[in-house]
Amino acid sequence: MGEAEVKPKKAGPVQCSICSQRRAALKRPKTLEQICRECFYAVFEEEIHRVVVDNQLFKPGERIAIGASGGKDSTVLAYVLSELNRRHNYGLDLFLLSVDEGITGYRDDSLETVKRNEIQYGLPLKVVSYKDLYGWTMDEIVKMIGLKNNCTFCGVFRRQALDRGAAMLKVDKLATGHNADDIAETVLLNILRGDIARLSRCTSIITGEDGPIPRCKPFKYTYEKEIVIYPYSFLQNLNRIYTYAYFKRLDYFSTECIYSPNAYRGFAREFIKDLERIRPRAILDIIRSGEKFRISTSAKMPEQGTCERCGYISSQKWCKACVLLEGLNRGLPKLGIGRTRGLNNGLECDTKQSNGVKNIQSKQCGTLDF
């Protein structure tokens, strides 16, 4: 739709509170400001730039992988980071890193989106697959274990796959598209399941600095609403600036994973959205609460070691992926599921953060690893 066709509503056009010239197109959840599209692009990008600079997310000359699922968050992240890298001379070498879980009709389609992003943004793409890394696709795993607990496999495998892919790319850091809503949701989930170790680190903007590949979340303070509107605005501009259309158009993939829903996260998600409607700042406040938690020194924290089998970081003798894989290969897929950590028993599938699965009410197998 071209600008000419846009007509202000009778209620009276609201002026942009930043430029006082154009018609406001959006109410920012973070500040409740009513701003126009042009000012929105500017503040959206500038805020992320500030987050990058203030938190020293990157150093000049670093190689950075962007975890790219083809979904909205990682697609917008890839676009914005490559823009800011150019505009502010970050001096970064950016790469797209995708995981192919081997889910026919879901991941193969979203990977097509990532391949288009590779061309559109001119960023080299690396795809690592479960089949190559572990010898199993998710389709094969589901065939063997059914639709219960499959998200546990998918989540554990994805976290490791991203690290392995990042190592292959020889990058210094992995940037993921987690947004403010995701993080608030994870704070709540970690409280709900009493996971003190994760609660204390899930709000960190950089994690794993002691591990092989640190991860960072440039969208930590970015509302999902704005991430969704951002590419959409470009689509709406297509007719007007059609010469840039192909490059400016952010295309992303939004079809649900075909394997079972993640009900527990879905409830937390819906709760966050309900809160946001009443008081949008609630999202930032939950993140802030998470940041301010102080863990009592008497709380027992898991000790970090390495897996005796594959060398990956692990608090147990074998890492979770190796235990799950052993179960699959020995035909005992229950191995490593619903294990012995007291109260966690049985919650495994629903609460695993990076569950692979969703219906429309929960996050899809994106890059949800904390």
Partner 1 sequence: MQLTLEFGGGLELLCESVKIHSVNVDPQVGEEKLTMKDLLSWVRANLIKERPEMFMKGDSVRPGVLVLVNDCDWELSGQLDTTLEEKDVIVFISTLHGG
Applying CB under 8 A, the residues found at the interface with partner 1 are: 1, 5-11, 14, 23-27, 34, 37, 69, 71-74, 177, 181-182, 224-225, 227-229, 232, 236, 252-256, 269-270, 273-274, 276-277, 358, 360-368
Q: What are phi and psi of 50, to 5 degrees?
A: -60, -45
Residues contacting 129, CB < 8 A, separation 6+: 99, 100, 101, 102, 137, 161
For residue 339 the two structure tokens come to: 């294990």
Least Cα distance to 268 among 341, 188, 177 occurs for 188
Question: DSSP label at 24?
Answer: P
Q: Which is nearer to partner 1, 101 or 276 (CB)?
A: 276
Q: Which is nearer to partner 1, 11 or 343 (CB)?
A: 11
Q: How far apart are CA 326 and CA 333, in angstroms?
A: 8
Smallest separation, CB 339 to partner 1 (Å): 27
For residue 241 the two structure tokens come to: 């600036």
Q: Max Cα separation, the chain?
A: 68
Q: How far apart are CA 360 and CA 276, in angstroms?
A: 19
Which residue is listed with tokens 């500040």? 31
Residue 69 annotated as part of some ligand binding site:
yes
The number of helices, as runs of H, and strands, as runs of E, in the chain is 14, 10
Q: Which is nearer to partner 1, 164 or 269 (CB)?
A: 269
Smallest separation, CB 360 to partner 1 (Å): 5
Q: How far apart are CA 231 and CA 237, in angstroms?
A: 10
Smallest separation, CB 86 to partner 1 (Å): 25
Strand 215-216 versus strand 305-306 pairing type: unpaired
Residue 177 annotated as part of some ligand binding site:
yes
Residue 67 annotated as part of some ligand binding site:
yes
Smallest separation, CB 192 to partner 1 (Å): 19
Q: Which is nearer to partner 1, 314 or 351 (CB)?
A: 351
Q: Known binding site: residues?
A: 67-69, 73, 99, 177, 182
Residue numbering of the annotated binding site for ATP: 67-69, 73, 99, 177, 182
